[in-house]
Structure 1
């Protein structure tokens, strides 16, 4: 029996369908769907994994944060633990009967490791099984058939490189996270995550924010004149000084300017705008980001399109099409359908010469459209990404865009002004790829010596702006330049920064927690916050993949680096604790209490529920509610009415909730509750017109479900003995006085309204 192992279930199904011309039977093995066929006297079974079906971990003893010091994890044993028990059981059952195993996972470092993990499970119970490997870059009939006709060997060096990354990231992440979290007193779900790639990436964001914090904003002025050109066309020119730093200087100039402008120079030229290079992962993510896709969502959609056979493998560093690709045949696929017009124009060319980027690799080609998709086959987001890939592919074969530019100079009362214009003469590649196209800046026809009327003078007040924050696309590109992470992991690192509430918004803005962690690391363990260490380890992993050095040598080097780092951390543990806790406290400050002027902060009750409370308590009892779950992120946006910072709530696996000003939010909630109450009262008035219905209404406070004798006494002690009194009391105030949860009180109020 021949067992073929794909990385995911849907990939296994597609590959099986291609190789069997659709004549396959679906059979469940240990609760896992497999696809089987009989071909040339041999039974073939296709099974899909779920990515990694095992994970690396420490023995259970090391999981106790209180008993095991963080540094002990550096040299601790590492074990392999199954994460997909059903798939592992199915592999063992099928592997026992197999005479041949073919690994058909994605061909990259991660895919090779996933395949080897599955193979190792099989070899434990069938050590003599024959095994081989197939490589493909798109799940299309031609690619898959060619791959299975040209099998190759498993690249164990490549898998070792993937394994070394898992080990290094586990050890660095677990040990440093434990140390920093314990030092900060942040345990449980709110632990402070630290990582080999994550922390230098976060440091980039924090350092950029510090530049903005330290940036000195300066006022300046710009001087413009509006001129009347030929055929009555008005246009604007600017003084050549661009910026004036003294207002009186501009005012003096304005007072001397007349109402006639002379054209002193006109220079017309042609500028060529080169076509873009082919998409690799970074180029693709950057382009998708400009369309509003996050790196994580862009990669998720690209992965789905790849598995469906519509685009090639989206994880690639390559920006040069291989000579083995039949580019004309690839374009001919689109000679029908929605891209027909574009394909026909390219096919009319005698030769197809695509652009070339600087990065050329041999594992996968640049991302290209692998087959023609119908708009009806994809959802809206998938179609946008698919169309982006198709158009970029076409654009790489197109001619440059041609612009006509005009630069003109003007004399107004001996002061020099200038204007530039541009007009797209030939669309070239921009016809195929219209995204983010610059607009024409048209100027009227003009000649040197022309005399024009000055219709008006305008002075614009402006301020210098701090450096911009990192957008996700720009951050991905910077990470690549610095050797942080890989094409497969960079978008995941950014997602993790969001989920750990280190950053919010896009462009990315760090929280005070991020400041606290990075400042502590930069001061007491700077290696972990700098890209050089991570870049060095990444280069070492590349050398493992190339067979130049053994995996164990790199793992030992990383442990030595980490042990050295822990010497610094432990030496400064008290200072780190002080620094972290001071910074974390700042991240809980919401603003100033309007009643007493004390600080309002995110707090927790004795029972663990959280709220915004006043530090003036018990003298001041002002408070505001917070959602029960999710991490609260305090932004720098201030409510003008209440003087409180807006907040966001990040919940795992859910959309970020922009709650805004907590006081405004609470007021809105109270209004909606009052409206609901009034509606319910009107409804009750209609329903209770008969005495029979009146008799069925709740009369006593103990008639409410959940309020027994003891609870009723608690309420009575604070002046709530009747249902009307319960309805009219503020739930937050009542909760504080009785130590009953706010949610319970709200439930009771709603049940009787």
Structure 2
């Protein structure tokens, strides 16, 4: 028997359907669906995993945070534990019968490790197994058939690189998280997460926020005028000095300006707008972010589209299409359907020459549409992502766009003003890929020497702005540049920062908790907050994958780094505790109590429930309620009516709940409760029905049924046993009880 192992159930089913000459047979093994075809002598069975089916962990003896020192985890034994008991059981059962195994998981570091994890389980029950590996970049008939016709060997070095990442992240994350959480007194669900990639990434966000806070706005003034042509067309011009830093200077110029402007020069030119390069993971996330998708959501949807055969593998660094893909054939796929107009236009070209990015790898091609999807096959979000990929693919083959640009200069009483115009004259690639396209900036038809009427002059007072916060797409670009994480993990790191309540909003804004953790690390263990260390480990893991160095050498080096870091931490334990607790306290302050002017804080009662309470207790007992679940994020937005910070509640797997001002929220709740009471009172004041026929929902036929059952009056119905009455009349119990409640 030949066993084929895919990374997910849906992938196993699709691959089996592609390779099966006839209809598949679905067989349940240990509670797991498998798919098979072929005779008993040549049977092929396909099974899908659920990503990693085992995980690395420490023995149970290390689980007690209070008894086991954080530093002990550095050299602690690491064990493997099953996370998918049914799948492991199915593998063992099938492994005993199999003679050959083909690993068909995704081809990257994680996919190779996932395949090797499954292989080791199989070899433990059948050491005689033969095994091979297939590589593919899209789950389409052509790719899958070619992959299974050209199987190769498992890359154990690549799997070792993935395994080393797991070990390093476990040891660093667990030991540092435990140490910092204990120092801060934050245990249970409130623990403070620290990680090899997570912490330097968080430090980037905090550093940008500090730059914004330290920024001192500088005032400046802009001078503009509105002009009118002889034909009555109006437009705005700006003074050649974009920003005046001296108010007296701009006022002096304003005083001398008259009511007549002259066109002093007109310069027309053409600007070439080159088509974009193919999508790799970072470019895809950035583009998806610009149309409203979070990094995690974009990758989740891309993964689903890949598994269903609609796009190629979405985790890739490559920005150069390989020659192995027949581009004309791939575009011809879209000659029918919603993109046919674009496909046919591209196919008119004699030579299809795509753009090339700076990064070229051999594992996977750039992200491209692998097959034609119907809009009815996808939900709204999936279609938006799919269309983004299709249009980007088309754009890489298209001609450059051409813009006609106009630079006009004007003289108003010897002061030079300017206006620039641009018009798209050759759409080129922008016809295919319309996202974030700049709009035409049109100027009236002007000739040098034309005289124009000055309708008005305007001076605008402005201030320089602080650097903007990072959006998710921008942050992922920076992480890539600094070597933080991989194409497969960067979006997960950002999601983790959200779930840990370190950041909120988009663009990303750090909480006071994030400040406290980053500042403590930067002061007492700066290595963990900088990208240099984790970048070096990433390079070392790449070297493991290339077979240049053994995994154990990198693991040993990483433990030595961690030992040195703990020496710094333990030498400053009291200072770290004080620094963390002071910072964490700030993240609980909601505002000032209107009664006694003490701080209002997020607090917990003796029974564990949360509320906003006054530090002036017991002299002041002012309090506001909070939702039971979720993490409370105190934002920097302040209520104009109550001077309290707005709060947001974060629940894992759900959209953040922007609760707003807690006082406003409480008053709104009170108002709703009062309205509900009044409504109930009004309902009770309604006149009681006099006869059965007066009750809403009881017609002639139903009234006869009730009469036959001995229910002749409203009081009879009110006192009757609804269950027994239902048996006699065949009227649903629920309906009878509803009528009884309405009478009461």
TM range (shorter): over 0.9
Q: Assess, with a 3 A threshold, how the Cα gap between structure 1 residues 687 and 484 changes in structure 2: closer, same or farther.
A: farther
Aligned to 2:489: 489
Q: Which runs of structure 2 are paired with 1:95-134 in the superposition (5 Å)?
A: 95-134=95-134
SS of 1:183's equivalent in the other structure is: helix
How far the C-alpha of 1:645 sits from its partner, in A, is 0.3
Q: Which runs of structure 2 are paired with 1:400-439 in the superposition (5 Å)?
A: 400-439=400-439
For 2:686 and 2:102, locate their aligned partners in 1 and report how far apart those are by CA, in whole Å.
73
Aligned to 1:393: 393
Whether the 8 Å contact between 2:602 and 2:611 is mirrored in structure 1 is: yes
Q: Report which stretch shifted further, 308-317 or 674-683.
A: 674-683
For 2:501 and 2:431, locate their aligned partners in 1 and report how far apart those are by CA, in whole Å.
42
How far the C-alpha of 1:246 sits from its partner, in A, is 2.3
Q: Report which stretch shifted further, 254-263 or 225-234.
A: 225-234
Aligned to 1:589: 589
For 2:334 and 2:565, locate their aligned partners in 1 and report how far apart those are by CA, in whole Å.
56
Aligned to 2:78: 78
Q: Assess, with a 3 A threshold, how the Cα gap between structure 1 residues 21 and 457 changes in structure 2: closer, same or farther.
A: farther
How far the C-alpha of 1:228 sits from its partner, in A, is 1.2
Aligned to 1:221: 221
Aligned to 2:324: 324
Whether the 8 Å contact between 2:22 and 2:37 is mirrored in structure 1 is: no
SS of 1:624's equivalent in the other structure is: strand
Aligned to 1:151: 151
For 2:112 and 2:263, locate their aligned partners in 1 and report how far apart those are by CA, in whole Å.
67
Residue by residue over 1:532-559, the C-alpha shift from the partner in whole angstroms, topping out at 9 and shown as x without a partner, is: 1111000000000000000000000100
How far the C-alpha of 1:231 sits from its partner, in A, is 2.6
SS of 1:434's equivalent in the other structure is: coil
Matched positions, count: 696
For 1:400 and 1:221, locate their aligned partners in 2 and report how far apart those are by CA, in whole Å.
38
Aligned to 2:365: 365
How far the C-alpha of 1:652 sits from its partner, in A, is 1.3
How far the C-alpha of 1:245 sits from its partner, in A, is 1.8
For 1:179 and 1:688, locate their aligned partners in 2 and report how far apart those are by CA, in whole Å.
68
Aligned to 1:90: 90
Aligned to 2:31: 31
How far the C-alpha of 1:251 sits from its partner, in A, is 1.6
Residue by residue over 1:499-533, the C-alpha shift from the partner in whole angstroms, topping out at 9 and shown as x without a partner, is: 00000000000000000000000011010000111
SS of 1:613's equivalent in the other structure is: strand
How far the C-alpha of 1:40 sits from its partner, in A, is 9.5
How far the C-alpha of 1:683 sits from its partner, in A, is 2.1
SS of 2:227's equivalent in the other structure is: strand
How far the C-alpha of 1:214 sits from its partner, in A, is 0.2
1:232 correspondence with 2:232? yes
Q: Assess, with a 3 A threshold, how the Cα gap between structure 1 residues 51 and 511 changes in structure 2: closer, same or farther.
A: same
Aligned to 1:139: 139
Give the alignment's TM-score, normalised by structure 1.
0.91
Q: Which runs of structure 2 are paired with 1:341-740 in the superposition (5 Å)?
A: 341-686=341-686
SS of 1:107's equivalent in the other structure is: coil
Q: Report which stretch shifted further, 220-229 or 181-190.
A: 220-229
SS of 1:90's equivalent in the other structure is: helix
Residue by residue over 1:128-186, the C-alpha shift from the partner in whole angstroms, topping out at 9 and shown as x without a partner, is: 10000000000000110111010000000000000000000000000000000000000
Aligned to 1:302: 302
For 1:56 and 1:456, locate their aligned partners in 2 and report how far apart those are by CA, in whole Å.
72
SS of 1:285's equivalent in the other structure is: helix
Aligned to 1:262: 262
Q: Assess, with a 3 A threshold, how the Cα gap between structure 1 residues 147 and 111 changes in structure 2: closer, same or farther.
A: same
Aligned to 1:206: 206
How far the C-alpha of 1:462 sits from its partner, in A, is 1.1
Aligned to 1:728: none
For 1:348 and 1:159, locate their aligned partners in 2 and report how far apart those are by CA, in whole Å.
45
For 1:684 and 1:186, locate their aligned partners in 2 and report how far apart those are by CA, in whole Å.
51
For 1:412 and 1:63, locate their aligned partners in 2 and report how far apart those are by CA, in whole Å.
78
Residue by residue over 1:84-133, the C-alpha shift from the partner in whole angstroms, topping out at 9 and shown as x without a partner, is: 00100000000011000000000000000000000000001111100000
How far the C-alpha of 1:643 sits from its partner, in A, is 0.4
Residue by residue over 1:21-75, the C-alpha shift from the partner in whole angstroms, topping out at 9 and shown as x without a partner, is: 4511000000000001115940110000000000000000111100101111011
Aligned to 1:729: none
For 2:294 and 2:22, locate their aligned partners in 1 and report how far apart those are by CA, in whole Å.
36
Whether the 8 Å contact between 2:280 and 2:314 is mirrored in structure 1 is: yes
SS of 2:418's equivalent in the other structure is: strand
Residue by residue over 1:648-678, the C-alpha shift from the partner in whole angstroms, topping out at 9 and shown as x without a partner, is: 0001122110000000000000010111111
For 1:688 and 1:92, locate their aligned partners in 2 and report how far apart those are by CA, in whole Å.
70
For 2:339 and 2:78, locate their aligned partners in 1 and report how far apart those are by CA, in whole Å.
52
For 2:89 and 2:162, locate their aligned partners in 1 and report how far apart those are by CA, in whole Å.
24
Aligned to 1:709: none
Q: Assess, with a 3 A threshold, how the Cα gap between structure 1 residues 40 and 408 changes in structure 2: closer, same or farther.
A: farther
Whether the 8 Å contact between 1:164 and 1:541 is mirrored in structure 2 is: yes
For 2:414 and 2:347, locate their aligned partners in 1 and report how far apart those are by CA, in whole Å.
56
Aligned to 1:743: none
How far the C-alpha of 1:452 sits from its partner, in A, is 1.6
Residue by residue over 1:548-597, the C-alpha shift from the partner in whole angstroms, topping out at 9 and shown as x without a partner, is: 00000000010000000000000011001000000000000000111111
Q: Assess, with a 3 A threshold, how the Cα gap between structure 1 residues 34 and 40 changes in structure 2: closer, same or farther.
A: closer
Aligned to 1:285: 285
For 1:507 and 1:39, locate their aligned partners in 2 and report how far apart those are by CA, in whole Å.
58
Q: Which runs of structure 2 are paired with 1:175-214 in the superposition (5 Å)?
A: 175-214=175-214
How far the C-alpha of 1:317 sits from its partner, in A, is 0.4
How far the C-alpha of 1:449 sits from its partner, in A, is 2.1
Whether the 8 Å contact between 1:230 and 1:445 is mirrored in structure 2 is: no
Q: Which runs of structure 2 are paired with 1:165-176 in the superposition (5 Å)?
A: 165-176=165-176
Whether the 8 Å contact between 1:230 and 1:446 is mirrored in structure 2 is: no
Whether the 8 Å contact between 1:261 and 1:454 is mirrored in structure 2 is: yes
Whether the 8 Å contact between 1:3 and 1:100 is mirrored in structure 2 is: yes
RMSD: 1.5
Whether the 8 Å contact between 1:312 and 1:367 is mirrored in structure 2 is: yes
For 2:239 and 2:393, locate their aligned partners in 1 and report how far apart those are by CA, in whole Å.
43
Q: Assess, with a 3 A threshold, how the Cα gap between structure 1 residues 339 and 40 changes in structure 2: closer, same or farther.
A: farther
Q: Assess, with a 3 A threshold, how the Cα gap between structure 1 residues 21 and 458 changes in structure 2: closer, same or farther.
A: farther
Residue by residue over 1:450-504, the C-alpha shift from the partner in whole angstroms, topping out at 9 and shown as x without a partner, is: 2221111011121111000000110111111110000000000000000000000
How far the C-alpha of 1:620 sits from its partner, in A, is 1.1
How far the C-alpha of 1:686 sits from its partner, in A, is 3.4
How far the C-alpha of 1:689 sits from its partner, in A, is 8.5
1:248 correspondence with 2:260? no
For 2:534 and 2:79, locate their aligned partners in 1 and report how far apart those are by CA, in whole Å.
24
Give the alignment's TM-score, normalised by structure 2.
0.92
For 2:229 and 2:490, locate their aligned partners in 1 and report how far apart those are by CA, in whole Å.
52
For 2:268 and 2:524, locate their aligned partners in 1 and report how far apart those are by CA, in whole Å.
58
Whether the 8 Å contact between 1:209 and 1:469 is mirrored in structure 2 is: yes
